């Protein structure tokens, strides 16, 4: 380590198994005048945090902040921030931003993959291919259906944007419907059942909160048409898992596409693995080779704003 004070400390833990060296390179490309250093060991991480003005990574231990006298901004590399020691950041006067929005294009494509697979029944075609069975099967069209998207943040908005060319009707559900949104119709959470009754495909893209935990349970599955498909790219606990298993077993819904589950990882003996109309990916929708590029864009934009204003306030994705 050199003796000079770094501007930006890049911490060790990466995202989706991608090396932080790639993130460091993306930051250097956008902020060539900044002294950017990446920690490779716990000791280097502590040393950098003790002197850097900006740190970026997954999280920091609250005790480390006691020595981080220069730290003004922590740029979290995750979209969520529930895992962060927010009280410690507040106590030390450190602003916090997130990576919200970096997932939108890839997760939206993941959702479209689920929807098209269900409609065109690619999963059935794959099974017949494995059996070398040349036998046609009935399919459906996505066009003309109603897609309800619960959550109209970056993820939900990305899904709606990519549905634009598929000739579907869209309903958006959000906590504050007066804010409007990109869907044909926007309803509040109190009107969820009204939307579900008209839904062919339900997409869950909300953060996990006290309000959204278990929001799709037995009553909601009863309201959905029996041929409706449910796609969850939010968090596993947004769906009551036992109610989901019951709904699939009783043919109360057409099927489910799950990138997230509760519990997670899903145990090997869990019944969800055995349903032919349940598609499961291992919390993989967020993976994209563009992750660090988009995250570096956010950090660079925020630091340019700090240069203009001299304040660590009013930043993009700022949560503290």
Token reading at 268? 């090997």
Q: Give yes or no: 264 in active site.
A: yes
Catalytic option among 110, 121, 201, 283: 283
Assess contact for 75 and 298: CB atoms under 8 A: yes
Query: Using CA atoms, how far apart are residues 185 and 58, in angstroms rounded to an integer?
Result: 36
DSSP 3-state of 205: coil
- What ranges make up the beta strands (E) of 112-260? 146-150, 169-174, 185-188, 201-204, 229-232, 255-258
Taking the alpha carbons at both ends of the chain, their separation in whole angstroms is 30
- The token pair at 16 is 């989706």
Enter the tokens of residue 271: 């019944």
Task: Tally Cβ neighbours within 10 Å of residue 236.
Answer: 18
Annotated active-site residue in 37, 121, 201, 235: 235
Tokens matching residue 32: 């060539």
Question: Quick check: is 235 catalytic?
Answer: yes
Q: One of 264, 276, 290, 311 is an active-site residue; which one?
A: 264
**Could you list the active site residues?**
235, 264, 283
């Amino acid at each position: 380590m050199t003796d000079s004070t770094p501007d930006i400390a890049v911490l060790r833990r990466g995202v989706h198994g991608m090396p932080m060296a790639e993130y460091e390179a993306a930051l250097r490309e956008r902020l060539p005048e900044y002294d950017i250093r990446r920690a490779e060991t716990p000791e280097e991480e502590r040393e950098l945090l003790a002197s850097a003005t900006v740190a970026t990574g997954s999280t920091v231990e609250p005790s480390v902040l006691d020595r981080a006298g220069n730290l003004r901004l922590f740029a979290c590399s995750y979209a969520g921030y529930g895992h962060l020691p927010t009280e410690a950041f507040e106590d030390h006067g450190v602003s916090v931003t997130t990576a919200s929005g970096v997932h939108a294009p890839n997760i939206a494509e993941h959702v479209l993959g689920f929807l098209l697979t269900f409609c065109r029944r690619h999963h059935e075609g794959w099974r017949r291919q494995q059996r070398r069975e040349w036998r046609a099967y009935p399919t459906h069209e996505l066009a003309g259906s109603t897609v309800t998207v619960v959550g109209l943040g970056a993820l939900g908005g990305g899904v709606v944007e990519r549905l634009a060319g598929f000739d579907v009707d869209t309903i958006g559900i959000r906590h504050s419907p007066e804010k409007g949104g990109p869907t044909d119709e926007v309803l509040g959470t109190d009107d969820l059942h009204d939307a579900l009754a008209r839904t062919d495909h339900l997409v869950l893209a909300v953060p996990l909160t006290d309000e959204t935990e278990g929001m799709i349970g037995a009553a909601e599955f009863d309201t959905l048409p029996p041929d409706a498909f449910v796609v969850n790219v939010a968090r596993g606990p947004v769906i009551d898992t036992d109610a989901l298993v019951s709904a699939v077993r009783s043919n109360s819904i057409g099927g489910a596409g799950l990138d997230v589950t509760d519990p997670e990882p899903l145990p090997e003996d869990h019944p969800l693995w055995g349903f032919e109309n349940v598609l499961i990916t291992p919390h993989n929708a967020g993976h994209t080779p563009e992750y660090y590029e988009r995250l570096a864009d956010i950090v660079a934009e925020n630091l340019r704003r700090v240069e203009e204003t001299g304040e660590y306030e009013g930043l993009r994705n700022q949560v503290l």
